[in-house]
């Protein structure tokens, strides 16, 4: 038996990975960055094959990592975690720097930065597991790191399907935890609008014309009307 709730007890941080594809910066959010050895310093990430950033890492053999801090704006996570670099340049309205290996990374919203050169990769089916040597590391801010739990519990963030940790059970649990839900044991149906990019649900009968998703920044046309069963 595999109890999926067991996976919910794993702890992670949140990271912005960037690389370069066809001479253009690409990047996305991951929670799977980790240090794997200290001498020499090596790190790893598990990243979905469908992510455009993965193509950049395969092409260049390099990536940058920014450790997101607790006050990182949700718009930054929305841009990098719920949209594809193939469609637009995610780095235009954001403060960036270029690493010694020539890769653009996000200079704001982070507390530490690593430059990595890939030395091994493993095909995991949906994802590729990259291991690399750290060739540069520095502290870029004083605010403490954001954890995956903090992102969900305090910032109200969601996780898209490409993430290694994605679970449809989690989305259903989030949908059930509508605001004001009391635990009477009885069920009632509420009308809401679900963002088709990130899964966020706004519980209103009509969505205003200028509504923008507070999690991923998607505009109104990305929302579909849903009826969700919640505690009465
Ligand atoms: C909280 C969070 C955690 C994520 N973790 C991962 C991850 O570990 N691996 C992964 O491949 N994608 C992860 N993603 C999804 C990618 O960031 C997302 O698919 C992104 O749109 C890919 O962008 P790209 O196509 O420009 O590379 C995560 C997203 C969020 C919001």
pLDDT tens column, 40-72: 999 999 999 999 999 999 999 999 999 999 999
Report strand pairing: 62-68 vs 110-123.
antiparallel
Residue 47 CA: nearest ligand 1 atom is 11
Looking at the chain, the domain(s) classified CATH 2.20.28.10 span 174-231
Q: Is the CB of 51 under 6 A from ligand 1?
A: yes
**pTM of the full predicted structure?**
0.83
Q: Is 21 in the pocket of ligand 1 (CB under 6 A)?
A: no
* Closest atom, ligand 1, to C-alpha of 216: 31
pLDDT digits (tens, 9 = 90+) for 106-164: 999 999 999 999 999 999 999 999 999 999 999 999 999 999 999 888 887 777 777 87
Name the segment(s) of the chain with CATH classification 2.30.110.10. 4-153
Question: To which residue do tokens 């007890």 refer?
Answer: 9
More confident residue, 29 or 219: 29
DSSP structure class, residue 81: H
Does residue 44's CB lie within 6 angstroms of at least one atom of ligand 1? no
12 — pLDDT class (breaks 50, 70, 90):
very high
CB 96 within 8 A of CB 11: no
Q: Whole-angstrom Cα distance, residue 47 to residue 160?
A: 13
Contact of 85 with 53, CB cutoff 8 Å: yes
Task: Give residue 189 CA to ligand 1 midpoint distance, Å.
Answer: 31
81 lines ligand 1 (CB under 6 A): yes
Cβ proximity of 113 and 65 under 8 Å: yes
Q: Please enumerate in sequence order all residues whose Cβ is within 8 A of that of 28, keeping only pairs 6 or more positions apart, or say none.
A: 16, 17, 47, 51, 52, 53, 80, 81, 85
CA dist 146 and 157 (Å) reads 12
Q: How far is ligand 1, taken at its centre, from the CA of residue 103, in Å?
A: 19
CATH class of this structure's domain 174-231: mainly beta
Topology adopted by domain 4-153:
Pnp Oxidase; Chain A (2.30.110)
Q: How far apart are CA 55 and CA 84, in angstroms?
A: 12
CB of 79 within 6 A of ligand 1: the answer is: no
Would you tell me how many other CB atoms lie within 10 Å of the CB of residue 194? Answer: 19
Residues 159-217 have pLDDT tens digits of: 777 787 766 444 444 443 444 444 566 778 889 998 877 777 888 999 999 998 887 77
């Amino acid at each position: 038996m595999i109890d999926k709730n067991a996976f919910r007890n794993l702890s992670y941080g949140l990271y912005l990975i960037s690389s370069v594809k066809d001479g253009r910066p690409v990047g996305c959010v991951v929670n799977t960055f980790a240090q794997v050895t200290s001498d020499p310093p090596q790190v790893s990430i598990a990243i979905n094959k469908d992510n455009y950033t993965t193509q950049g890492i395969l092409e260049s053999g390099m990536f940058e990592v920014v450790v997101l801090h607790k006050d990182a704006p949700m718009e930054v996570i929305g841009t990098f975690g719920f949209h594809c670099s193939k469609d637009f340049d995610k780095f235009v309205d954001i403060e960036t720097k270029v690493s010694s290996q020539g890769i653009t990374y996000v200079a704001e919203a982070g507390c530490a930065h690593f430059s990595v050169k890939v030395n091994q990769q493993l095909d995991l089916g949906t994802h590729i597991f990259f291991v690399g040597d750290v060739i540069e590391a520095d502290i870029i801010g004083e605010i403490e790191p954001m954890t995956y739990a903090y992102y969900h519990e305090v910032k109200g963030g969601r996780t898209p399907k490409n993430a290694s940790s994605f679970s449809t059970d989690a989305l259903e649990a989030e949908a059930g935890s509508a605001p004001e839900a009391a635990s009477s044991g009885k069920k009632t149906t509420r009308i809401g609008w679900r963002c088709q990019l990130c899964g966020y649900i706004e519980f209103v009968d009509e969505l205003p014309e200028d509504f923008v998703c507070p999690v991923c920044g998607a505009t109104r046309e990305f929302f579909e009307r849903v009826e969700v069963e919640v505690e009465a």
